[in-house]
Amino acid sequence: METRRITVLSAGLGVPSSSRLLADQLAASAERQLSSAGYDVTVDVVELRDLAVDIANNFVTGYAAPRLAEVIAGVEASDGLIAVTPVFSASYSGLFKSFIDVLDPKSLDGKAVLLGATGGTDRHQMVLDHAMRPLFSYLRTRITATGVFAGPQDWGTVDDGGSSLAGRIDRAAGEFAGLLTGTQPGRKPAPMQSLPFEQLLAGISGNR
């Protein structure tokens, strides 16, 4: 059975965080739909607020502290990303953008991405198409057609044929799961392994 590794990025600042809540629901739906399609799923959740100091230091020193380096490696090794940010000043948060900036731009090439955002009013929902989508398009990712914005009025509503938050989450997660089926162009290749000298020599002798 093939495995799909998903990294969930939550840029929420509060505890509890509506961004984390949305991220968890998106991940749970994606995991459920991928499991139904016959895949093993590994989900790694990253709270960016826990890395804020390391991210800032990385800009100053050019060096990623061990904890940040581990998260970056996890993003590079994942098959897909679920990225959720709160909205500040009609765009993604500075913390969210700062983390994206410390990544190697080529490391996201071809990865499947599901976008989510939270805000205090529906006027912020355009952040998905006017800020987040251009950013991840620039990074050459494969983005789901549906992004999910959640405002205060969305939490606790009942399903009304797919327009509720739960319906939008399942639709977006289904598109994300579809991107994660088959060969994954965004998967980082396994590192090359050095063979022992005796094995190399045996191979050369065998080809004579």
pLDDT average, residue stretch 108-115: 97
In the chain, helix, strand, coil percent, each to 5? 50, 20, 35
pLDDT average, residue stretch 39-45: 97
How far apart are the C-alpha atoms of 55 and 59, rounded to whole Å? 7
Position 201 scores a pLDDT of 62
- B/e letters for 29-66, b = 16+ CB within 10 Å, e = fewer, are bbbebbeeeebebebeebbbbebbebbeebeeeeebee
How far apart are the C-alpha atoms of 141 and 150, rounded to whole Å? 23
Architecture of domain 3-206: 3-Layer(aba) Sandwich (3.40)
pTM recorded for the entire structure = 0.85
121-165, pLDDT tens digit by residue?
777 788 999 999 999 999 999 999 999 999 888 876 655 555 689
Segments making up each domain of the chain, as ranges: 3-206
How far apart are the C-alpha atoms of 51 and 9, rounded to whole Å? 11
The answer to whether residue 66 scores a pLDDT higher than 90 is yes
